[in-house]
Amino acid sequence: MKNQREIYVGVDIGTATCKVLLGEFLPGDSLSVLAFAEVPTLKMCKAEAVDTRVVAGQVALALAKVEEDAGFPLPEPFFLALSGAFIETIRVTGRVGIPEDVGLVRQCDIEEAARQTNTVDVPAGKVCLPQVVNRLSRLSDGRVLFNPIGQYSASLEVETQYFLADLARANTTYCLLSENIGKMAIAPLVYTPLAVSSAVFPPGASDDALALVIDIGAGMTSIAMPTSVGHFYLGQVSIGCDHIANDLSIAFDLPFTTASALLTQLATLHCTAVASKDHRARMITIGQDSVSKKRQLPASSVEIVLEARLRELFELIRRQLDDAGAYSWLGNRVLLSGGGARIPHITELAATVFNRKVALAQPYRITGRTDFQPLPQFNTVLGLLRAGYRDLQISREVEGNVSALDSTLEWWKKTWKIVFDW
């Protein structure tokens, strides 16, 4: 039976935890949170399952908690975030000439150029994710624009982005959820950077100066730079909070679990991402495990390790943006998301690398339960519902018109117009 209320389930199987959110879309683009659960994944590394039986069991636990909290059976379809180093971005360009007697770029020119990008070579062992994301348009004189309609040009190029994933590894993540929900539908899979972006940036953002969001998870860091009609840059880096915890573990000869716990206690211990060179003036006390004696460490030494790894991460992201030609488009808005955004003074450190003001990323128009706090570490699962719902709406609109369309070209033109105007 069709779900009359727009209620959906988002599942984010992360390196550290599995988050499941039941949400309802309300008029005015508000997302009402109906139920939420978060449980440790236990056996994940860099967004991939090390022991699928253990992780699947934790996913089942999170689903059961959400269903109990909601008080009714979970509806379909489910939206699933997909993350990992096995996903790559493929950019495809389509080109059309603009007739001399017309001169100006029209909507039909964009549609035709975009249609030419609708063929991607998918190698054996790979799968193409459902999202097709517009990147930019280029005029004959080299100008790069995001909405070129009304511009004078002899030709138009449209560049779109596809996301290819290793089939076996993507299926492994898919099955962690599918085996827990039986024949219920999962649609669609959403690339994690797209989900994060959807949580914090409302549709139709200005292109005068592009914003950037960086989501620092336990195993992966996601990067997104949206435009009004797509994204100029999307990507991931295989560095996260687990790598910081590993650095602390090695530097101070601590068990990894203790180093991970230390990361969550930084605010209480008055340690920050910006190192203070006060040597042993501030000592912190930590316990290695339940039976070992407590240890004291200089706070400044912990901060040096934190700053070194985080600065390396931010510099790597800046280099990637430079290589993609994206950094020059960056405006004065950099946002930090994910569990790593909780590290004290991390925004100050990031500001020194990006030479921009940096703030915490807050999701927009979240309503519903007062006991749910829309914190930065929940942006992926919140945005997952928005991105999945958007794709679902596009599919519905296209399918509703497909019988009236005469050809493959007309179908593609209709699809592109919906994506462009969304």
- Checking 250-256 for CB contacts under 8 A at 24+ apart, the result is 251/301, 251/305, 252/295, 252/297, 252/301, 252/302, 254/286, 254/288, 255/288, 255/289
Query: Judging by DSSP bridges, how do beta strands 48-49 and 78-82 pair with one another?
Result: unpaired
- The whole-angstrom separation of Cα 243 and Cα 216 is 11
DSSP string, 347-408: HHHHHHHHTS-EEE---SSEEE-TT----GGGHHHHHHHHHHHHHHHHHHHHHHHGGG--SH
Measured in residues, the chain has a length of 422
Q: In the prediction, which pLDDT does 292 show?
A: 58
What is the rounded average pLDDT of the residues 70-93? 95
List, for residues 348-381, the tens digit of each pLDDT value: 999 999 999 999 999 999 999 999 999 999 999 9
- What pLDDT was estimated at residue 333? 92
Q: What confidence tens digit (pLDDT) does each residue in 186-206 have?
A: 988 999 999 999 999 998 766
Distance CA 16, CA 27 (A): 34
Which residue is listed with tokens 């508000």? Answer: 30
pLDDT at 403 (0 to 100)? 47
Q: For residues 324 and 308, give the distance between their C-alpha atoms in angstroms, rounded to a whole number.
A: 25
Mapped onto helix, strand or coil, the DSSP state of residue 175 is helix
- The CA distance from 257 to 262, in Å, is 9
Condensed to tens digits (0 to 9), the pLDDT of residues 376-386 reads 999 999 999 99
pLDDT of residue 401 exceeding 70: no
**Mean of all residue pLDDT scores within the chain:** 90
pLDDT digit string (tens) for 246-296?
A: 999 999 999 999 999 999 999 999 999 999 988 889 999 987 665 557 889
How would you classify the pairing of strands 7-13 and 78-82? Answer: parallel
> How far apart (Å, rounded) are the C-alpha atoms in residues 251 and 303?
12
- Which domains, from first to last, does the chain contain? 87-166 (3.30.1490.110), 251-307 (no CATH)
**281 close to 356: Cβ distance less than 8 angstroms:** no
**pLDDT score recorded for residue 125:** 96
**Residue 231's pLDDT is what?**
94
Other Cβ atoms closer than 10 A to 72: 10
Give pLDDT tens digits for 124-141: 999 999 888 999 999 999
Give the per-residue pLDDT at 412: 44
